[in-house]
Amino acid sequence: MSQVILPILTASLLSLSFSSFNLWLFAWFGFIPLFISLEKRSLLQSFIVGYLCGIVFWSLTIYWLIHVTLLGQAVLILYLAVYFGLLGCAVYLFRFLSPGVFLFFIPCAWVLLEYLRSYLFTGFPWALIGFSQYKNLPVIQIAEITGSWGVSFLVVLVNVVFYLALRKRLKLRIILIFICILYLSLAYGFYRLSYKPDLRCDKELLKVSVVQGNIPQDLKWDKQAAAGILNNYIELTSAAAKDNPSLIIWPEASVPVLWGGDSADVQFAQVFSLARQLKISLLVGAVSCSDEVYFNSALFINNLGQPERVYNKLHLVPFGEYVPFKKIFPFLQSIAPIGDIEPGKEYTIFSQRVNFSVLICFEDLFPELSREFVKRGARFLVNITNDAWYKQSSAPYQHFAASVFRAVENRVYLVRAANTGISGFIDPFGRPSSIVQDVAGKDSFIKGYSSKSICLTPIRHTIYNRYGDLLIIFCLLFDTCVIIFVLRKRK
C-alpha cells in the first residue's frame, strides 16, 4: 500500500508548490515520501513507483491543458512521467552509495533529468522544481550564477538530507557541508537583495505601459468580433497614454487580423494612426503572413506611426503552433487541430531609446533565448503572451514563474503583457511590481493597464548569461564519475 500512497503524497506536495496558493515550502520536503516508498523495491518496481508519482504530479499540475486538447494532455502526461520513473531507477541503482556521495548524486541526477526534459523533442521546461521558488526571493538569487538549475539542485539536496537524516545516521562533516551550501546560497541571496539599483538610476529611466485586453479565446479570431477587439485595445492604450509612457505594449496576437493579409490594411492603419496620434511607440502582437508562410510575430511601431521592425517567434509550441514529426507520423495532427506556424530565424533587437527584445508566449521558458538577446545588447526583455487558453487555473502563475527566473539570470527588467494572465513588471531581482489588477486584487481574466518607469542600469553580464549551464556540466561530470567508479568496483 505504501508504494501507492507515498508516491501520490509526493506528487500532491510537489504539485501544490506550483499552485497559486504560494505553497513553495512543500517542495523542500515533497520528495521524501517517494524516497521512502522506493526502499526495498526492485528496479522495475522503482520505475513503476516513480512513474506513478509522475502521472499524478503532472495530472495535478497541468490539469488546465484539458481546455486545449484532452488527447494531447494525456500523451504529454504519460511522457513526462517517465522522468520521475527514471529518478526512481537512479535511487534504486545507487541507494548503496555512501551518504556523502548519495547526497549529491541524486540532486545532480534530477537536474540532468530536468535539463533533458527541457530540450528533448523540442523541450518542455514547464514546472521545473526550481520554478516553485519564484516567490522565495533570497533562494532564487543564485540563478544569476547557476540558472534555475541551481535552485532545483538546492531544493532536491534539502530533500535528500532530510531523507538521509530520517533513515540513516549522517556524519558530522556531511551535515556541515550541507549547512555551508545552504548558508552560502541564502547569504548570497540576501546580499544581492540589499542592492538598490534604482537609487543609482539617475536619468536612465524608461516609462513603459502594458495593456491586458482580456479577450475570450473563443472570440479571438472571430471576424465578427475583430472591430470590437481592436477598439478594446485602442481604449486601453488611450487610457495608458495619460501616464506619458515612451512605449506601450500589447499582448501576443492582440491585433485580430493577419499582418500582411488582404484585410489587414484598415485594421493596421488604425493601429499606426493611434501611435502617430498619441506620439507613443507601440509594440503589438500579431500573426504575420509572408509568401503564404505564417509567423507568430511582434511588430514595433514608432511614435510616427511607422512599422519599424518585426520579430518572428523562434521557438514554437509543439501541438500548439505546429505538429512535430507530422510527415513521419501523420496521425499526430489529430492530437491538436492547428494551423502551421513557421519559426523565425533572427534574434531581433528593437530600440526605444535603448535596446530591448521580445519573448513570445512560452519562449520565456527557454533560458538560452533570453541569454542570447541580452548578449546581443537588449537592456530589458518583454514577454507577450496569451494565457486565456487555460481558463481560470494556476497556468498563468506557473508561466509567470519562468519570467521571474529570466529576469534574475540576466539581471534585467522583464516586462509582461498578457491577453489575460499576469501583466506587469519584474525587476532584475525577481520582484514583481505594478501588476495589472482590479479593485479586488484579481490579476487574470480582467482588463486593464499598468505603467512603470523601469531602471536601465548598464548591462553587466552575469556568470550565467556569460557562460551558461556550467552547473549542468558539473552534474554530468559528477554523476558520470560516480557511475564509472561503481562499474569498476563491481568488476
Handedness of CA 328, 329, 335, 339 (dihedral sign): positive
User: Residue 323 in contact with residue 336, Cβ under 8 Å?
Assistant: yes
Find the catalytic residue in 252, 321, 363, 409: 252
Cβ neighbours of residue 81 closer than 8 Å, sequence gap 6 or more:
51, 52, 53, 54, 55, 57, 58
User: Residue 34 in contact with residue 6, Cβ under 8 Å?
Assistant: yes
* 313 belongs to the catalytic site: yes
DSSP structure class, residue 321:
T
Q: What is the 3-state secondary structure (H, E, C) of 318-366?
A: ECCCECCCCCCCHHHHHCCCCCCCCCCCCCCCEEECEEEEEEEHHHHHC
d(CA 30, CA 11): 8
Place of cell 499526430: 332
Written as nine digits, the cell of 16 is 501544490
DSSP structure class, residue 310:
E
- CB crowding 114-137: b at 16 or more within 10 Å, else e: bbebbeeeebbbbbbbbbbbbebb
User: Residue 388 in contact with residue 420, Cβ under 8 Å?
Assistant: yes
* 252 belongs to the catalytic site: yes
Which amino acid is it at 282? L
3-state DSSP call for residue 104? Answer: helix
Phi, psi of 435, rounded to the nearest 5 degrees: -70, 140
3-state DSSP call for residue 394? Answer: coil
d(CA 67, CA 82): 23
β-partners of residue 418 are 385
Find the catalytic residue in 108, 144, 313, 363: 313
* 361 belongs to the catalytic site: yes
HSE (side-chain half, CA atoms, 13 Å) at 18: 29
Query: Maximum CA pair distance of the chain?
Result: 78
3-state DSSP call for residue 337? Answer: coil
Judging by DSSP bridges, how do beta strands 350-352 and 354-360 pair with one another? antiparallel
Give the catalytic positions in this structure. Answer: 252, 313, 361
